[in-house]
Structure 1
Amino acid sequence: MSSNERMAVAAHLHVALRRKAGRVTDTDWMAVNDAYAREVVRVARAYAHEEGDAALAALAAKLEAHIDAPAAQGPQAMPPQERLPPPRGLQAGAPPSEPELTSEGAGRYIGRLR
């Protein structure tokens, strides 16, 4: 099963847990981390059992099916030698500096917020 399908199921379970149980989960982490996803499934099933919520139990079962399914072969990471070099003025490992606002950009941004 694809990671997009797993992300969609994780998002549906996240919304259901938020609305019904007041629980907030990390959808991105649920989609990539099996241990976290299993724990969310456990919490969802426990709440569904307490409240008799069949829809929440079904979503938990659906996510569990995606956890146990073999991952689809996705795009491979690019080898380091094929990656682009860092932009000029940015050294590897050094944090990027704050951008300076010019007079033309000052009207667009308020401080550092956009």
Structure 2
Amino acid sequence: MSQNDAFAAAAHLHVLLRRKTGRVTDTEWMVHNAEYAQAIVAFARERASEDGHADLLPLADRLESLVIPVRKAVPVSAPAPLTASTSVDLSTRYIGRLRG
């Protein structure tokens, strides 16, 4: 991802959202904060579907592809069961150090 591409997508979406919906956004925050970007993308898609602003969709998709990280599915393995022979050294654990 080029940061310039991300800023360009955020700026274009900002301008269209301001013109079409009156919503003011922060383009720099959109580029640096994935949660904020996701909220703006969701808002743009909502306005596109409810108000018929279909021109918001390509910009929302572009911003999402540039800023929002793709979460890959990580296989989850079952934790090993605790047995009577399992010992835990609390002095090396975070909570143990706080209390110790």
Pick the TM interval, shorter chain.
Answer: 0.5 to 0.7
Q: 1:48 aligns to what SS in structure 2?
A: helix
Residues 1-114 of structure 1 aligned to structure 2 (within 5 Å): 1-68=1-68
Instruction: Could you tell me which runs of 5 or more consecutive residues in structure 1 were left unpaired when the two chains were aligned.
Output: 71-114
Residue 38 of structure 1 aligns with an amino acid whose one-letter code is Q
Structure richer in helix, relative to its length = 2
**Counterpart-to-counterpart distance in 1, 2:67 and 2:8:** 13
Q: Check whether the contact 2:20–2:53 (CA below 8 A) recurs between aligned residues.
A: no
Cα offsets for 1:8-67 (capped at 9, x unmatched): 000000000000000000011001111100000000100011112221111111111112
Query: Would you say how many aligned residue pairs link Structure 1 and Structure 2?
Result: 70
How far the C-alpha of 1:69 sits from its partner, in A, is: 5.7
Higher deviation after alignment, 49-58 or 37-46: 49-58
Cα offsets for 1:58-95 (capped at 9, x unmatched): 1111111112468xxxxxxxxxxxxxxxxxxxxxxxxx
Structure 2 length normalisation: TM-score? 0.65
**Counterpart-to-counterpart distance in 1, 2:48 and 2:18:** 13
Runs ≥4 residues deviating over 3 A: none
% identity of equivalent residues: 53
Instruction: Could you tell me which runs of 5 or more consecutive residues in structure 2 were left unpaired when the two chains were aligned.
Output: 71-100
**Counterpart-to-counterpart distance in 2, 1:20 and 1:54:** 11
Structure 1 length normalisation: TM-score? 0.58
Q: Check whether the contact 2:44–2:56 (CA below 8 A) recurs between aligned residues.
A: yes
**Counterpart-to-counterpart distance in 2, 1:17 and 1:68:** 19
